[in-house]
């Protein structure tokens, strides 16, 4: 593939995702899309893409790729890992900044640190077919992405652009807080009346742990058992990303990007949209504390998050010279250029 990326190591679960497949839940098709839509959007900003452009999502561990296009610009975001580049040059690039790579370069993302998920954006995006309005991969339905599946060694990822111009690269001005210790905010309901008051209090005050049964469909949580007040079976109704079901075991399941479209267990609460990415970064074994907010507060937080993303895109990044060029702005920021004319 002369204008793409060759997969040398696919990692345990890597797929192509965008912001999701909207408008088909009524016929049983999940929304899918990135687990951490904030990080996916920021990765796209760093390479100059629209925030909704498809990206490579990596879970638990990164990937290794070989550049077969003439040149590409990539950026990693969503974790504390580095991009390691080997070829005619050998160097590393931290997450949160873009870099231009050349044909023959081999780029690797290793362990993702504390984060479950991370995103690699490519300037121009991946040249893959849109299915039902999205490129997102839904593996259980074999829809989207590359043949509707996870990546494997030897795959070729076609790119929209076979080369990219030399220009200044981008990096975030301020460190990004991934919220590993932040409480996950929820709105109670829609069936919190199925639980005792003491059960709801325990849910909101005691920690849970992401179990080993965690994937893109949902996170099963270990911790205090939640007591039902009047049984746990109900007529199946609609599911949204962030809904927290409590089956007969009393242990909650937070439904996420690839969740089914209907479910028959009562939902004690729903994670607010802004905090779904925060939860999507929690690896198995990580603690989760829930905090109740009102619907009005959730809407205000969503508006604030959208405004922050817009501000980040317009004023929250700095440009710096590519490798081999003296970056005068970086020297100034480090107070290393004082007195130089």
Q: According to the model, what pLDDT value does residue 264 have? A: 87
Beta bridge partners of 80: none
Question: Cβ distance 162 to 3 under 8 Å?
Answer: yes
Q: What is the mean pLDDT of the chain?
A: 93
Q: Which long-range contacts (CB under 8 A, 24 or more apart) does 174-183 make?
A: 174/316, 176/42, 176/77, 176/96, 178/78, 178/79, 178/80, 178/114, 178/115, 178/278, 178/281, 179/275, 179/278, 179/281, 180/114, 180/115, 180/281, 180/282, 180/286, 182/275, 182/278, 183/289, 183/290, 183/291
Q: According to the model, what pLDDT value does residue 335 have? A: 64
Q: Dig out the tokens for 246 from the structure.
A: 């409590």
pLDDT band per the 50, 70, 90 thresholds, residue 1: low
Q: What is the pLDDT of residues 136-165, one digit of tens each?
A: 999 999 999 999 999 999 999 999 999 999
pLDDT band per the 50, 70, 90 thresholds, residue 235: confident
Q: What is the pLDDT of residues 8-63, one digit of tens each?
A: 999 999 999 999 999 999 999 999 999 999 999 999 999 999 999 999 999 999 99
User: pTM of this prediction?
Assistant: 0.92
Task: Give me the mean pLDDT over the 94-122 stretch.
Answer: 96
Helix segments in 1-135, DSSP class H: 37-47
Q: What is the pLDDT of residues 53-106, one digit of tens each?
A: 999 999 999 999 999 999 999 999 999 999 999 988 899 999 999 999 999 999
Q: According to the model, what pLDDT value does residue 325 have? A: 46
Task: Assess whether pLDDT exceeds 70 at residue 120.
Answer: yes
Q: According to the model, what pLDDT value does residue 332 have? A: 58
Task: Assess whether pLDDT exceeds 80 at residue 338.
Answer: no
Task: Assess whether pLDDT exceeds 70 at residue 292.
Answer: yes
Q: According to the model, what pLDDT value does residue 333 have? A: 56
SS3 assignment, position 72: strand
Task: Assess whether pLDDT exceeds 70 at residue 296.
Answer: yes
Separation CA 29–CA 295 (nearest Å)? 27
N-terminal to C-terminal alpha carbon distance within the chain:
48
Q: According to the model, what pLDDT value does residue 89 have? A: 85
Q: According to the model, what pLDDT value does residue 152 have? A: 98
In whole angstroms, how large is the CA radius of gyration of the chain?
A: 21
Task: Assess whether pLDDT exceeds 50 at residue 341.
Answer: no
Task: Give me the mean pLDDT over the 195-214 stretch.
Answer: 95
Run of H or E including 269: strand 267-271
A 10 A CB-CB count for 89 gives 11
């Amino acid at each position: 593939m002369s204008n793409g990326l060759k997969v040398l190591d696919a990692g345990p679960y890597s797929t192509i995702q965008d912001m999701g497949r909207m408008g088909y839940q009524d016929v049983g098709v999940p929304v899918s899309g990135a687990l951490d839509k904030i990080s996916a959007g920021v990765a796209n900003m760093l390479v100059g893409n629209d925030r909704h452009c498809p990206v490579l999502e990596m879970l638990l561990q990164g990937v290794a790729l070989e550049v077969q296009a003439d040149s590409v610009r990539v950026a990693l975001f969503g974790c504390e890992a580095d991009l390691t580049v080997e070829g005619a040059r050998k160097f590393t690039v931290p997450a949160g900044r873009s870099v231009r790579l050349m044909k023959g370069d081999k780029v690797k993302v290793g362990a993702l640190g504390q984060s479950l998920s991370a995103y690699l954006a490519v300037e121009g995006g991946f040249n893959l077919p849109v299915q039902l309005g999205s490129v997102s991969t839904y593996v259980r339905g074999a829809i989207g992405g590359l043949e509707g599946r996870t990546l494997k060694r030897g795959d070729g990822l076609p790119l929209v652009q076979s080369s990219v111009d030399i220009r200044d690269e981008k990096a975030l001005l301020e460190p990004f807080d991934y919220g590993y210790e932040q409480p996950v905010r929820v709105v109670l309901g829609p069936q919190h009346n199925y639980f005792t008051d003491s059960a709801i209090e325990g849910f909101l005050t005691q920690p849970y742990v992401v179990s080993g049964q965690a994937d893109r469909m949902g996170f099963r949580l270990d911790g205090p058992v939640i007591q039902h007040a009047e049984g746990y079976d109900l007529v199946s109704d609609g599911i949204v990303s962030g809904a927290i079901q409590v089956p007969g075991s009393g242990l909650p399941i937070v439904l996420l990007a690839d969740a089914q479209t209907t479910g028959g267990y009562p939902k004690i609460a729903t994670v607010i949209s802004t905090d779904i990415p925060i939860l999507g970064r929690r690896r198995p074994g990580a603690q989760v504390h829930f905090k109740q907010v009102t619907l009005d507060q959730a809407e205000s937080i969503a508006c604030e998050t959208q405004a922050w993303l817009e501000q980040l895109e317009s004023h929250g990044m700095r440009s710096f010279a590519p490798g081999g060029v003296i970056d005068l702005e970086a020297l100034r920021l480090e107070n290393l250029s004082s007195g130089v004319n």
